[in-house]
Amino acid sequence: MAGVCRRREHREAIQANGLLLREGDGETRTQIPVTEELAAGQSYRLLVVLVKSFDTETVAKNLPSRIDTQTPVLTLQNGLGNAEALAAHLAPEQILAGTTTFGALREAPGEVRLTGRGECEIGAWSPAGERYLPLTQELFQRAGVECRQTPNVATALWKKLAINAAINPLTAILRVRNGELLRREGVAQIMGMVAEEVWRVAARHRIALPTPPELREEVLHVCQLTAANRSSMLRDMEEGRRTEIDAINGAVARLGLERGVLTPVNSTLTGLIHALSDTARGLPEAGPERRMETK
């Protein structure tokens, strides 16, 4: 096992002392080799892509010169468009996609806290890639991560999208943990409206999701399960980093526009996050075309 870590302070801490994982009151320190870039000419049983969605294209363009055509590549990233970006530069049968319900927080360079233990759900992006699923599932389970296969990974990605779209931007705007959304008047209604818009757009793209009321209940359930979590979008906002809003709510708005589906709530949340993020990062205000952009 090896890792690629582009943040220098995090990489150097792991190189010097290993990766410290905290879960509850326990700690585990693991020595793993980490580099700034993926070495070329190596053989890999599995490559997992976990960068922010807006960096996927950069990673995808570099992979053909680093791995062979028999290496499966799994994306467990937030939002939509990641598998498509990878498939544009690699053989489609190499691409696996999935979701994870694990939560983690980097507390310091080389130190990570597991904030929620869940499972992974994976599927092949094309039928030819199904041959890679048993080995991938085995590798995760041997690492102590529950992993199951799904025959329809697009549905899994859209369901996760509905949850992220309903929770992440509202935590970032209100600057609260996930569970606090349940205690704010009117917020549950907004989350339900977000989920319903995702359902309508998914239906136009022939993606079968649970009904809007069922999606809303799933969103509320996830809020309860992850009540103590600070969403990744909230952390990005607090630390003045670019958010993944374009691959989440922004993707809903863009894909809705393609099929004539109005998405006023997702579009509004996308615009608000851009405005707040630009302010936090000291960037000039962008025009309306930026709001609909999906990286």
Residue 294 pLDDT grade (very low, low, confident, very high; cuts 50, 70, 90): very low
Asked if the domains at 3-151 and 154-291 fall in one CATH topology, the answer is no
Q: What is the pLDDT at residue 280? A: 65
What residues pair up with 8 in beta bridges, in sequence order? none
pLDDT digits (tens, 9 = 90+) for 26-56: 999 999 999 988 888 777 899 999 999 999 9
Among all residues, which ones are annotated catalytic?
160
pLDDT at residue 288 is higher than 60? no
**The pLDDT value given to residue 286:** 53
pLDDT digits (tens, 9 = 90+) for 94-150: 999 999 988 888 899 999 998 878 889 999 999 999 999 999 999 999 988 999 999
3-class secondary structure, 239: coil
pLDDT in tens, 193-202: 999 999 999 9
Q: What is the pLDDT of residues 77-86, one digit of tens each?
A: 999 999 999 9
Q: Which pLDDT band holds residue 226 (cuts at 50, 70, 90)?
A: confident
* Beta strand segments in 51-118, E: 73-75, 95-100, 103-108, 111-116
Percent of the chain at pLDDT > 70 equals 95
Kindly report the CATH number that applies to the domain delimited by 154-291: 1.10.1040.10
Q: State CA 29 to chain mean position distance.
A: 25
pLDDT the model gives residue 277: 87
* 219 confidence band (pLDDT: 50, 70, 90): very high
For every residue of 94-107, DSSP letters joined together read GEEEEEE--EEEEE
- pLDDT surpassing 60 at residue 265: yes
Domain boundaries, the chain: 3-151, 154-291
Show the 3-state SS of 13-53.
HHHHHCEEEEECCEEEEECCCEECCCCCCCCCCCEEECCCH
Q: What is the pLDDT of residue 295?
A: 36
Going by pLDDT thresholds of 50, 70 and 90, the confidence category of residue 281 is: low
| Identity at 201, one-letter amino acid code | V
Ranges 4-8, 104-108, 265-269, most confident: 265-269
Element containing residue 121 per DSSP (H, E): strand 119-124
Q: In the prediction, which pLDDT does 290 show?
A: 47
Please report, for residues 16, 29, 166, 228, 230, the alpha-carbon distance to residue 26 in angstroms, rounded to integers and kept in the order given. 21, 10, 32, 18, 21
- In the chain, count of helices (H) and strands (E)? 11, 11
Q: CATH topology for 3-151?
A: Rossmann fold (3.40.50)
- Beta strand 103-108 with 111-116: parallel, antiparallel or unpaired? antiparallel
Query: Residue 54 in contact with residue 244, Cβ under 8 Å?
Result: yes
Can you say whether the dihedral through the CA atoms of 295, 174, 253, 129 is positive or negative? positive
Q: How large is the average pLDDT for residues 262-278?
A: 96
Which residues are CB-contacts of 96 (< 8 A; sequence separation ≥ 6)?
72, 73, 74, 75, 122, 123, 124, 125, 129, 132, 133, 136, 153
